[in-house]
Amino acid sequence: MSTKLFSEFPPLKKSDWLAEITRDLKGKSFDETLIWHTLEGIDVQPIYTDEDVAPFAIPFKPTGEWLIREEVFDADIKRANRLALDALNRGAMSIAFFASPKSANEMSALLNGIWLEAAPVHFYGCQDAPQILSLFLNETRSRNLDAKFVHVSIDFDAIASFATQGKWESEAFATAAQMVGAARPYPNVKVVTIRADVYQNAGSSLAQELAFALASAVEYLDALTEQGVSADEALQHIEVSFAVSASYFLEIAKFRAARWLFGELAKAYGASATPTIHVSSARWNKTIYDAHNNLLRGTVEAMAAATGGADSITVARFDELFKSPNEFSAHLSRNASLILRDESHLDKVVDAAAGSYALESLTDAMGNAAWSLVQRIESQGGMIQSLRSGFVQSEIRRVREARDKLIAEKKFNLIGVTKSPNAKEKMKSTIEVGLESPAPPSDAEIETLSPYRAVAAMELERLANET
């Protein structure tokens, strides 16, 4: 067929569509009626056309696949190993441990039966990250594993720790360089995990979360290259951990923009490597009441992360805010990713969002908003100095207060709490863990970031009034 379909219809410009929409509004404000003004400062339009497509290609990973990473909270070495093996047998593909082995025997016991070439592991809460790394690498050598097939990531981010704990570790960058050196033969070992999620879970916007991740990466790159580490080697050994909320299209745009901007950052340092991206469910938008809605939120979040190109995803347990870890909720969280992969086949498409006028435009807008903030941070001396001056904290506070205002005005809803609550639901007897936020450290050098949950005050009041 040589004739182009619909060629008898004249092409329409975006201005033609907007003029028709304006007529249909019959005097109502276009801006107030149809434009979504986000906390990122992005105005989401009601219509997008090919005129809105970003004028550049968004880099994407080679496949649409992602690893299903499950968290094992148990600090006991033997129990943690047993839980990890069970999770892997039930569909998890990667394990995040909270247990901290102190010896070669403990590391061997923790990883016993885990095929490390196929199941990457992550270590949270590393009080002594170099020791954890050393014990892990010694374990791989004792198994005679091929270094290029070994995957591990270490929860080491001195900047995020400074933001949340308020104490700067003077030897932090030297420690990072030491670990990069130890991991040099292991191309898939990540010794720094930039914890961007702590900013979103403290109340930041998505653009801010991305900007703080980029600004932190600049700090690490500058410090590591000054110590003789190449930019390529530094980036190769970095992972970025983002939170993902239920703001579906904006989250997809954030992850696509992250790949674009980290690619641009690498070019600025004469490098080609980029960090891997891990994504975990945000905590700030989860609820205690009507908690099964968290299953829906977590599924939407996992969809956004997968579509946006995450390398690994952790879907939080729907009841983790108020219950001790249990297999039932872990099973449901795991199955959210399994259904998206094995029934919805989201892993079969590379960059499913490519070509969407709206998502291309939102990616461009999200990236530009984040980059503008990075430039402001750099003009003030970088991420660490911006934490010392309180700039980062004030930016997050501004967004958090704006979100709280939207909630108070019923313009932002969390079902089951701010809208359509079940007044008969009683939760007091179900609570198994403490709900109060930890007190700020008394010896902090800066104003620290505290965990933020949008409806915490409402739910605590409701709990107090339960009869």
* Inside any domain, residue 462: no
How far apart CA 104 and CA 101 sit, in angstroms, is 8
Residue 442: its pLDDT value, please?
84
> Same structural domain for residues 174 and 146?
yes
Residues 332, 263 share a domain:
yes
Between CA 365 and CA 425 the distance in angstroms is 42
Whether residue 103 sits in one domain with residue 176: yes
For residue 121, the cross-strand partners are: 95, 152
In a domain, 385, yes or no: no
CA distances from 213 to 218, 226, 258, 402 (A): 9, 20, 9, 22
- DSSP per-residue letters across 190-256: E-EEEETHHHHTTT--HHHHHHHHHHHHHHHHHHHHHTT--HHHHHHTEEEEEEE-S-HHHHHHHHH
pLDDT at 89: 97
Give CA–CA dist 315/336, Å, rounded.
Answer: 8
Say whether both 200 and 228 belong to one domain.
yes
pLDDT for res 403: 97
Per-residue pLDDT, 179: 97
Q: Which of 348, 366, 384 is the last residue of a domain?
A: 366
**Does residue 416 belong to any structural domain of this protein?**
no
pTM reported for the whole predicted model: 0.95
> Are 123 and 28 in the same domain?
no
The whole-number pLDDT of residue 62 equals 86
The residue segments making up the domain with residue 30 are: 14-47
Which residues, given as ranges, of the chain have pLDDT below 70? 1-3, 54-55
**Domain assignment present for 332:** yes
**3-class DSSP state of 97:** strand
According to the model, what pLDDT value does residue 318 have?
97
Residue 56 belongs to a domain = no
Same domain, 106 and 245: yes
The structural domain count of the chain equals 2
Q: Where are the alpha helices (DSSP H) in 48-112?
A: 77-89, 104-110
Residues 143 and 287 occupy one common structural domain: yes
Q: Do 285 and 211 share a domain, yes or no?
A: yes
Same domain, 238 and 122: yes
The rounded distance, in Å, linking the Cα atoms of 288 and 278 is: 25
Last residue of a domain, one of 366, 390, 416: 366
Spatial contact of 441 and 302, defined as CB atoms under 8 Å apart:
no
Tokens representing 369 are 């908003």
The answer to whether residue 114 is domain-embedded is: yes
Measured CA to CA, the distance from residue 339 to residue 296 in angstroms comes to 13
Residues 242 and 339 in one domain: yes
Domain-embedded: residue 86? yes
Q: Does residue 306 lie within any of the structural domains?
A: yes
Residues 20 and 80 in one domain: no
For residue 9, what are the CA distances in angstroms to 15, 20, 21, 244? 17, 17, 19, 42
Partners of 195 in beta bridges:
241
Query: Given this model, what pLDDT does residue 125 score?
Result: 82
For residues 33 and 97, membership in a common domain is answered with no
Query: What is the layout of strands, in order, in the sheet containing 192-195?
Result: 189-190, 152-154, 121-123, 94-97, 67-72, 312-314, 276-281, 238-244, 192-195
The CA-based dihedral angle spanning residues 180, 182, 184, 185, taken in that order and rounded to the nearest 10 degrees:
-150
159: domain CATH number is 3.20.20.240
Question: CA-CA distance, 81 to 106, in Å (whole number)?
Answer: 10
pLDDT for the residue 57: 77
